[in-house]
Amino acid sequence: NHQSAPIALREKIAFGPEQLKLALANLKAELSLDEVVILSTCNRTEIIASGSSLAPGKIRDWLAQYHGLEFHELDGSDYHFVNEQVVLHLMRVASGLDSMVLGEPQIFGQVKTAFADSQAASTLGANLQQVAQATFRTAKRVRTETSVGRHVISAPSTAINLAKRLFTDISNCSALLVGVNEMIELSAKHLTEAGVKQITIANRTLDHARPLANQVKAQIIELNMIPEQIINTDIIITATASSQPIITKESIEQALIQRKHKPIFMVDLAVPRDIEATVAN
């Protein structure tokens, strides 16, 4: 997760939505497990498993092998829990207590989706179903009975708050959102509430972007138009499921020249990364 491994490693072992069904079936069959769930988000890749032949080391090796990594590349970055410690860990995760942004609510939905995906792939059984129900009940109680859920925060809201500090008047800024999902929807919501009127949404499928664009009065463009759009953009937030970077160092360099080095605030919420790592240089 984000505490144990750098993003350069996390993005190598992330599972895209299109990979999950086959990965779950492969892991269950390869290691003769009874039940398997894979939780893969921008901040963590975790495997929850049950079975008589359970061996954390073998699961770790499967994870490395599945993604084409050398076994030693996971050294010092992995962790494992057994029995009741698994349940306690999942409860912390689903409650947002183990998140990069403490208390962020999106992780609860991501945990629920992970168990639903396992159910759909026929790798979820009675044991992990009980674990899931106990986890969901506890996470809901944490939200309603403690101060964790009192002030809703998220990675997008944190990003917009930082942007407010960087720009004299954020309402005069133009924003580019790449992708369409919950993170982008939250980003659009917070940008609109901050007074940003010039919002552009770039997505592979334009029809998927239209409902959100209509909601926040945003322009829609295709992904191949991003380099041209960057020239007139002050804030970029990305969160796609692409396996390859969408924004390159070259496109940023060209944009900065044409902007006469007027700065661009960029936030990459995707794993694997949407913005080439070399952009940081």
Residue type, 160: I
Q: Are residue 159 and residue 142 in the same domain, yes or no?
A: no
- Examine the domain organization and report whether 227 and 128 are in the same domain: no
C-alpha to C-alpha distance for 57 and 262, rounded to whole angstroms: 50
**pLDDT attached to residue 173:** 97
Of 133, 149, 165, the residue at which a domain comes to its end is 149
Active site residue 42: yes
Domain boundary among the residues 111, 132, 149 is at 149
Statement to judge: residues 56 and 140 lie in one domain? yes
Average pLDDT of adjacent 10-residue blocks, the chain of 281 residues: 96 95 97 97 96 92 97 96 96 95 92 98 97 97 88 87 95 98 96 97 97 97 97 97 95 95 94 96 88
**Running DSSP on this structure, what letter comes out for residue 188?**
H
Q: Is the same domain home to 180 and 137? A: no
Question: Which of 39, 42, 47, 212 is labelled catalytic?
Answer: 42
**Which pLDDT belongs to residue 59?**
96
Pairing of strands 45-50, 174-178: unpaired
Q: What is the pLDDT of residue 213?
A: 98
Give the integer Cα–Cα distance in Å for 224 and 204: 9
Contact at 8 Å (CB) between 237 and 156?
A: yes
In a domain, 112, yes or no: yes
Task: Indicate whether 192 and 132 sit together in one domain.
Answer: no
Question: What pLDDT is recorded for position 151?
Answer: 72
Residue type, position 204, single letter: R
CATH code for the domain in which residue 66 is found: 3.30.460.30
DSSP 8-state assignment for residue 68:
T
The C-alpha atoms of residue 149 and residue 105 are separated, in whole angstroms, by 8
- Count how many domains the chain has: 2
User: Is 17 contained in some domain?
Assistant: yes
Same domain, 215 and 236: yes
Give the CATH number, domain containing residue 252. 3.40.50.720
Last residue of a domain, one of 89, 115, 149: 149
My answer on whether 259 and 207 are in the same domain is yes
Q: Which domain holds residue 224?
A: 155-280
